[in-house]
Amino acid sequence: MAPALPPLLPSGPASRADRRPGHTQELNTMGITAITTKPVRLAVASLAGLGIAGGIAVAANAATGTVHTSSASLSVRSGPGTGYAKVGTLAKGAKVTISCQTTGSTVKGTYGSSNIWDKVGTGRYVSDAYVYTGSDGRVAPACGSTLPSNPGTPSDVIGNNYPYSGQTSGVDRWNMYKGQCTSFAAWRIESVHKIKGFTNQYKGQHWGNANSWDDAARRSGVTVASRPKVGDIAQSDAGSFGHVAYVAKVNANGTFVVEEYNYVHPEHYGTRTVSVGSGRGQFDSFIRF
């Protein structure tokens, strides 16, 4: 692994959600209210087959809906919120069967702002703000108490969405070398943890090569743990420059899945299941942003 660069000015603007045609539509407005504000989809909804739960009309059976975006695809998440892992997309006009509905993070969409999420399959949820159901109220039963755990952080492999994929020379916007493990880790810090200000000089510390990241984190006041948690940056001092990776999943047996660059495949993306330790290929520090 090539060493990280000395301090430089950022080489480009921080990324942000792009809602142009061809891009996934999903805008988290960070609302905390439990109400839905949308243009009326149908003036009057039939009460046949509806029950009353907490003063809200709730359908006794599954319902159907149609994805209604401007042109982009709609994100499908592993749980009811934008913090859950993206597990697929649905095209404009796609028909969905809504088995149940629940509340999660608020999303601004075609039908205004809503914190209602529709379950459209096992481990598959979409924001109701982009689904035409014929009613502004709930149209399906409330989901049970077995919702996915760990809201707010992805719970599985995200995939190779690294913005510099295929580029193996030059400096990225975080002042790391493109295609290196540190550059990919910086991307996960920005895209998952929404820390737009992370660079090679984060909080006045020079993060440098991967083998210095744990020390830089401690000096910066960032937690460094000894056991992994989804969303951590796993760190190792092994080798000439050390190594960092993103913890995507933690298994019941104590092993964990990492996403990384420049390890299994030189200067390219890879995943593997590893264990805690100080040996080559293992990680013994976990930086928690």
Tens of pLDDT, residues 126-144? 999 999 988 777 888 888 7
pLDDT for the residue 5: 52
pLDDT for the residue 279: 84
**According to the per-residue pLDDT averaged within each range, which of 17-26, 177-186, 267-276 is highest?**
177-186
As a whole number, mean pLDDT of residues 17-31 equals 34
Same domain, 116 and 199: no
Global pTM? 0.50
Q: How far is residue 11's CA from residue 8's CA, in Å, rounded to a whole number?
A: 8
Q: What is the pLDDT of residues 171-216, one digit of tens each?
A: 999 999 999 999 999 999 999 999 989 999 999 999 999 999 999 9
Q: Tokens 């995507």 label which residue?
A: 248
Exposure string of 26-48, with b = 16+ CB inside 10 Å and e = fewer, is: bebeeeeeeebebeebeeebeee
CATH number at residue 209: 3.90.1720.10
Same domain, 27 and 145: yes
CA triplet 97, 103, 35: central angle to 5 degrees?
110
What's the one-letter identity of residue 238?
A: A
Task: Report yes or no on 220 lying in a domain.
Answer: yes
Task: Report yes or no on 136 lying in a domain.
Answer: yes
Task: Report yes or no on 163 lying in a domain.
Answer: no
Average pLDDT along the chain: 78
Give the residue with greater pLDDT, 236 vs 281.
236
What is the number of domains present in the chain?
2
Q: How far is residue 273's CA from residue 281's CA, in Å, rounded to a whole number?
A: 10
Same domain, 123 and 192: no
Task: Report yes or no on 137 lying in a domain.
Answer: yes
Same domain, 54 and 105: yes
118: confidence class by pLDDT, cuts 50, 70, 90: very high
Same domain, 220 and 278: yes
Same domain, 123 and 80: yes
Task: Report yes or no on 191 lying in a domain.
Answer: yes
Q: 48: domain range? A: 18-149
| Cα 88 to chain centroid, rounded | 12
Exposure string of 118-134, with b = 16+ CB inside 10 Å and e = fewer, is: bbbeeebbbbbbbbbbe
83: confidence class by pLDDT, cuts 50, 70, 90: confident
